[in-house]
Structure 1
């Protein structure tokens, strides 16, 4: 598996992953009715941010976006988001994307990385982030409406560099 910079031609493979994830409504707080164009604008980070894909051969297995979490006085903290194709989960794609984002943020001198809204029920993501050193610094109870579990908490997670 190779993680590389996203190029516009990748969208044809990223969009189905993105659509699958948001339509499931199990992990992201994005509108499940978003169009491909709206999704592209939300996912593809302009510089100085970065968007990447994890590929195996010519197939995109997952994608990540990263950048500054907040402007101005918060600009020293980074953030990132990750999506992995359903049939590629459990194969280390999410961990590889997370490690790539962390390396990118450290190389750019950020003081840490913050995840603003990690669904408490997304155990695989929470476990990956904890293994990489993140801590849950707060949970907003019932802030995420899961399609089968009902209202679950949204974690704010942080890793200081």
Structure 2
């Protein structure tokens, strides 16, 4: 699971992250990602913390993210794929945006598991996909890249 962390702080301030873990299964690990410094810090260990002095004021989300994972290693490919956004930009177009490069396999399934769209294409961070006339509802998007596979639900 990935949770964006909202921060409101002035430039020049030092902020510190630490955790008190309660009711979390023992095999779940907690990591803090700082996208500005490109660092990942494990926070579920005893006395672990992450401190940073802000170069610019923050107000909202976008820099810090909490990750939970059942193994002790947070793979950078997992982070890159998790940052992919999939959204309907209008009634006829689905947009894929994020760390997408090279050849990508895209499949769209309806809630019954039937594939309604499938294609392979080259992309550089953003790709618009023309949608056929689809019924309103929940769909599942499957994206395969050279970095791995990600599956997300969307509502059309």
More helix by share: 1
Higher strand share: 2
Asked if Structure 1 and Structure 2 have the same fold, meaning a TM-score greater than 0.5 normalized by the shorter chain, the answer is no
TM-score, normalised via structure 1 length: 0.28
